[in-house]
Amino acid sequence: MNTEPLPATAALDRIRVVLSHPSHPGNIGAAARAMKTMGLSRLVLVKPKVFPDAQADAMAVGATDLLVQAEVVDTLAEALSGTVLAMAMTARRRELAVPALWARDGAAELVAQAAAGEVALVFGNETSGLSNDELALCRRWAMIPVNAEFSSLNLAAAVQVMCYELRLAALDPGLPPAISGAGLLASHDEVERLIAHIERAALSSEFLDPASPKRLIARLRRMFSRAAPEKEEVNILRGLFAALEKAAETRIENKT
């Protein structure tokens, strides 16, 4: 990352709190209240079961402005569009997931990456959490260190804990110095386009079985989550695959 740490308010303004498929409107309102008390204002709802709703307004208690300006989308991919980092909150280990962070470390990383662009903190449904496909779209995931004997945490309460950690990190980031010459991080959309390009190339070269591409794609997402590629690196890989595809097409034409 080649930018200096942002002032606290500027960093918090770049953080989206994403609630995926929330089922209880009261939790949406309580989450908005939790956000506003900690200086966050960007609420994104992925296909909420009920919204807008009077119960959400009642539970917001003075934070109804966040509900009014909340963005409602159909998919998590839409909610993450334009971000440079998405961090999922989940209570259990998933196959092919990158290593987990504790809540405090996750918040610090989000604040640090906010210097490079928009970031997102993603919460799943109250009952089932995030699906594996949704988790795969997030480069990082974090856990709140709850009591192992009673780990059930209300959605709005989890949002409050993480918003507190984000504010704490923004006020006293303790970030390492910027690296001279480092490039800008690739956005979520740019990495997704690279993965789609790799998938096309793998299918056209018959490296990948069209009947079962999901496992390879999941591993690619995991790899790029660990790597946190820069824009220039993504462009280099896109150019490489484009050249390989063109060379393959030329060989086929010459044979015919």
Question: Into how many domains does the chain fold?
Answer: 2
Residue 100 lies in a domain: yes
Residue 74 lies in a domain: yes
CATH for 114: 3.40.1280.10
Q: At what angle do helices 188-204 and 231-255 cross, to 10 degrees?
A: 20
Q: What is the mean pLDDT of residues 9-36?
A: 96
Give the range among 216-225, 230-239, 247-256 with minimum mean pLDDT: 247-256
Q: At what angle do helices 155-171 and 25-37 cross, to 10 degrees?
A: 20
221 and 121 share one domain:
no
Q: What is the mean pLDDT of residues 1-11?
A: 71
79-106 pLDDT, tens digit per residue, is 999 999 999 998 766 665 567 899 999 9
Residue 177 lies in a domain: no
What does the pLDDT read at residue 200? Answer: 85
What does the pLDDT read at residue 26? Answer: 97
105 and 137 share one domain:
yes
Residue 25 lies in a domain: yes
Residue 216 lies in a domain: yes
192 and 165 share one domain:
no
155 and 205 share one domain:
no
CATH for 215: 1.10.8.590
180 pLDDT above the threshold of 60: no
153 and 32 share one domain:
yes
157 and 203 share one domain:
no
112-126 pLDDT, tens digit per residue, is 999 999 999 999 999
20 and 59 share one domain:
yes
155 pLDDT above the threshold of 90: yes
What does the pLDDT read at residue 179? Answer: 52
What does the pLDDT read at residue 166? Answer: 97
Residue 146 lies in a domain: yes
87 and 50 share one domain:
yes
1 pLDDT above the threshold of 50: no
Residue 240 lies in a domain: yes
Dist. CA 203–CA 53, nearest whole Å: 46
What does the pLDDT read at residue 224? Answer: 84
Q: Which residue has the tokens 């820069």?
A: 230
131 pLDDT above the threshold of 60: yes
Give residue 181's pLDDT band: very low, low, confident or very high (50, 70, 90). low
129 and 227 share one domain:
no
151 and 201 share one domain:
no
Give the residue with greater pLDDT, 150 vs 75. 75
Parent domain of 208: 188-255
Give the residue with greater pLDDT, 209 vs 69. 69
Long-range Cβ contact pairs of 176-180 (< 8 A, separation 24 or more): 178/1, 178/2, 178/3, 178/4, 179/1, 179/2, 180/2
Residue 2 lies in a domain: no
149 and 91 share one domain:
yes
